[in-house]
Structure 1
């Protein structure tokens, strides 16, 4: 009898944005020891942890199947088994890099995800089950830090109406060097995502102090003061961070309020009238 396991693995950024674990490798093992039935029925998702080299080597004899996920984090695994398969599956992933990583790839890193008995369904000559997992945001931030790869996500909205601003380019700059560290485009909902490097294996402090500029094509729409990068809310940021930008377009900033223009016209008119009156009535 053959078994087919299909599914998807992705990760959560700041509890609001999901990205797939593109081209990661998923590995399925038989567990080393039995688990209580009540745990296996619901599936056991322990805290995601790193799998060291020694543990990885010891587990090789229990390897059931492995494959590489596609660019959307989808996978399909199959194997043969002579009896009804009721054993739990131990599920690990192996990453050579993370989405958007710009620094050179280093050694692959392995993480344990879960221990679970899939809900197998009979389909002609095989059993089929599905498995989906979303890496929690706090774990994903730590994993990205392991690879020295940061990500910022958020939305660009009009400062006054709060309406989404699509089709713009968001650029992030290092406040200490004024060099661009990453960029991304806003979608139809005004949402953007940009990637950049951080110190490899660095903590939250390795995240650079950044400020933003927003462009429409090559035209600067909005730029914030780089002193914003040193505000308390921008300090000790995580490798996965959310920053919503409320933009006042430069074209609107340049427009003088109507009442100011009316006042200026009245002042000029009054001044001219007084000057004319003075010219006409000056006596020796």
Structure 2
């Protein structure tokens, strides 16, 4: 007879986007000797960090450990060495954040101490467990790791749904450098990861007073089949929701179809106009500036 535990662990980036904890590790422990005040209260116990010493002290009670797949799913199996009515401890280990992001080190957390609901079959007992890390907790984990994640929809103006299979590039307006790229999924949502190292590019930047997150001011470019579909003006990075980006941020990109043609089909004509106008008299420079403004 054996126990089989299956489930999923993910985290909330924002209210409408869940991030699977790919490559994280889940551990199941035999119960410690419980005092009355330590009795389990249910499946959704508060997640709390564990020190390396706390993890080491419970090593002799470890039943099983497994690595989560790219969707955050896991499967654990162990021999029947305890009563199915006993409580188990579930812990999580993050060696690196999703997207191989942030500083690489083991971050251990206690998830739950609970009595699982087991079902008996011919081979033993089967149980299930799922947990979604709250957005505030996930935000703090990213912040402590020096990492960021941006998610959002990419869609045309007035469209009801997002556009799949587009490439999204994010730029830091403070440096003009590319900080990350991602592709939209089948519903038009992108998830883009980057770290403090991507922001610095090997150069130490001075801190700007009042910036709580030490994050970038971002603007985006969108490509379809490696052709430029939409390029935002850098001024977009001055908007409140684009400045000093938080570790877990939701930024939707909405483009107007009338400007798609300007961004792609007429790019060559735009450069031709620049060459022509700069060779004319200075009094016509105002027309050049107006033309440039309208194209942007």
Cα separation, 2, equivalents of 1:245 and 1:66: 40
SS at match of 2:185: coil
Shift of 1:68: 2.0
2:105 aligned with 1:97: no
Cα separation, 2, equivalents of 1:102 and 1:82: 38
Correspondence for 1:5: 5
Correspondence for 1:71: 70
Shift of 1:138: 1.8
Cα separation, 1, equivalents of 2:74 and 2:155: 36
Correspondence for 2:117: 119
Offset from partner CA, 1:76-103 (integer Å, 9 cap, x none): 2222235532111111111111111355
Q: Per the alignment, do residues 168 and 59 of structure 1 end up closer, same or farther by CA in structure 2, a change over 3 Å counting?
A: same
Correspondence for 2:208: none
Contact 1:145 1:198 in 2 (8 A): no
What root-mean-square deviation, in Å, do the aligned CA atoms of Structure 1 and Structure 2 show?
Answer: 2.8
Cα separation, 1, equivalents of 2:82 and 2:182: 51
Cα separation, 2, equivalents of 1:71 and 1:152: 18
Higher-Rg member (1/2): 1
Q: 1:227 aligns with which of 226, 229, 235?
A: 235
Cα separation, 2, equivalents of 1:8 and 1:44: 13
Correspondence for 1:55: 54
SS at match of 1:205: coil
Cα separation, 2, equivalents of 1:212 and 1:193: 13
TM, length-normalised to structure 2: 0.75
Offset from partner CA, 1:234-279 (integer Å, 9 cap, x none): 2343211101111024345589xxxxxxxxxxxxxxxxxxxxxxxx
2:212 aligned with 1:214: no
TM, length-normalised to structure 1: 0.78
Offset from partner CA, 1:51-88 (integer Å, 9 cap, x none): 11121122223222222222322222222235532111
Q: Per the alignment, do residues 253 and 137 of structure 1 end up closer, same or farther by CA in structure 2, a change over 3 Å counting?
A: same
Cα separation, 1, equivalents of 2:171 and 2:152: 16
Cα separation, 2, equivalents of 1:83 and 1:44: 19
Correspondence for 1:259: none
SS at match of 2:140: helix
Correspondence for 2:247: 239
Consecutive unaligned residues in structure 2, runs of 5 or more:
199-210, 266-296
